[in-house]
């Protein structure tokens, strides 16, 4: 019997489930493993070195589970760890395996949504500080003006189930106002954290109706489909049994209680010790 070789999807917590949900909807035929490093979340406030160390450790565990391809469905990990893992670790650790992120797929298309040539990035402090979006967008859309705003309270609001409550209004409006005050010409907003789609109803309350708001799930799913089409040798290594397994580095019971908010229905999880 051939061992399962699932596609691994990693996040520091729950937000990556919004990306995995879009991927499974678009590419249901594959086997998937999700790993949330809930024991060490949040990543957004941690140093580059710490995020890199934590991310590499989790990628290795997904490799141990048979994954030939791993998606870092976490903007902070993509910003602070992906390049080192791709360039320094994979060539010696696992030259036949691949690790992809969520930033590049997004920056490859973001310019096509803006008519004014001005976009706003809403992200964690770690992602904003890394300047990853600014650097990557410059490669594909050098004339696009990019404005950023760090939203440190948004992830805690979501993870504590307060994102729909009246208490969230202040923090959502505060950061949207700060971003839009940087330029009246911003016509496209990117939710550059996989938790933020859950705040979308609140966000829409505080921005002009004609503003385009992008979430990353469908963008990443489209990019993955294209990647597997362009790399049949990688696609052939990914097993296609339509299975789905959820793992967390913290309490499986707590993960199950909160994950349904992101996944849209109850999940069963197992704890994975690092």
Q: DSSP string spanning 96-137? A: T-EEE-SHHHHHTTGGGT-SSSEEEEEE-HHHHHHTHHHHHH
Q: How does residue 160 score in pLDDT terms, banded at 50, 70 and 90?
A: confident
Query: What is the average pLDDT across 2-14?
Result: 90
Residues above pLDDT 90, as percent of the chain: 92
Each residue's pLDDT tens digit, 21-54 = 999 999 999 999 999 999 998 888 899 999 999 9
pLDDT above 80: residue 251: yes
Which residue numbers are catalytic? 74, 193
> In terms of domains, do 169 and 207 share one?
yes
Residue 116 lies in a domain: yes
Q: How does residue 17 score in pLDDT terms, banded at 50, 70 and 90?
A: very high
> In terms of domains, do 197 and 137 share one?
yes
> In terms of domains, do 49 and 114 share one?
no
pLDDT above 50: residue 195: yes
Each residue's pLDDT tens digit, 97-128 = 999 999 999 999 999 999 999 999 999 998 99
> In terms of domains, do 161 and 193 share one?
yes
Residue 236 lies in a domain: yes
- Residues within the annotated binding site? 11-12, 43-44, 75-76, 194-195
**Which CATH number is 200's domain given?**
3.40.50.1860
Each residue's pLDDT tens digit, 140-158 = 999 999 999 999 999 989 9
- Residues within the annotated binding site for substrate? 11-12, 43-44, 75-76, 194-195
pLDDT for 42 equals 86
> In terms of domains, do 127 and 91 share one?
no
Domain that holds residue 45: 7-101+218-271
Q: How many CB atoms lie within 10 A of CB 200?
A: 13
Query: What is the average pLDDT across 7-30?
Result: 97
Classify residue 89 as exposed, middle or buried by CB count within 10 Å of its CB (0-12, 13-18, 19+).
middle
pLDDT for 1 equals 36
Domain boundary among 172, 200, 215: 215
Query: What is the average pLDDT across 194-198?
Result: 94
Query: What is the average pLDDT across 6-11?
Result: 98
> In terms of domains, do 91 and 118 share one?
no
Mean residue pLDDT of the chain comes to: 95
Query: What is the average pLDDT across 6-34?
Result: 97
> In terms of domains, do 80 and 108 share one?
no
Residue 2 lies in a domain: no
Residue 110 lies in a domain: yes
Structural domains counted in the chain: 2
> In terms of domains, do 182 and 237 share one?
no
pLDDT for 131 equals 95
pTM, whole model, 2 decimals? 0.92
> In terms of domains, do 208 and 259 share one?
no
Domain boundary among 215, 243, 258: 215
Among 2, 64, 76, 74, residue whose Cα is nearest residue 33: 64
């Amino acid at each position: 019997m051939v061992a399962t070789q699932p596609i691994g999807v990693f996040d520091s917590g729950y937000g990556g489930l919004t990306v995995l949900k879009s991927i499974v909807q678009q590419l249901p035929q594959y086997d998937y493993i999700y790993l949330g490093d809930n024991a060490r979340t949040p990543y957004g406030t941690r140093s580059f070195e710490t995020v890199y160390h934590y991310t590499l450790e989790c990628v290795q565990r997904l490799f141990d589970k048979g994954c030939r391809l791993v998606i870092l469905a976490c903007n902070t990990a993509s910003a602070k760890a992906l390049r080192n893992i791709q360039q320094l670790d994979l060539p010696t650790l696992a030259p036949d395996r691949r690790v992809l992120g969520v930033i590049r797929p997004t920056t490859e298309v973001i310019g096509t949504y803006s008519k004014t040539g001005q976009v706003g990035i809403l992200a964690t402090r770690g992602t904003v500080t890394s300047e990853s979006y600014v650097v990557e967008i410059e490669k594909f859309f050098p004339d696009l003006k990019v404005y950023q705003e760090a939203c440190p309270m948004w992830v805690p609001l979501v993870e504590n189930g307060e994102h729909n409550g009246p208490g969230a209004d202040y923090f959502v409006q505060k950061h949207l106002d700060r971003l839009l005050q940087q330029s009246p010409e911003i016509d496209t907003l990117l939710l550059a954290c996989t938790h933020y789609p859950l705040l979308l109803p609140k966000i829409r309350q505080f921005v002009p109706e004609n503003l385009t708001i992008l979430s990353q799930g469908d963008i990443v799913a489209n990019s993955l489909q294209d990647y597997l089409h362009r790399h049949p040798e990688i696609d052939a290594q990914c097993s296609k049994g339509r299975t789905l397994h959820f793992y967390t580095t913290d309490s499986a019971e707590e993960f199950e209680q909160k994950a349904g908010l992101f996944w849209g229905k109850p999940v069963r999880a197992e704890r994975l010790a690092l």
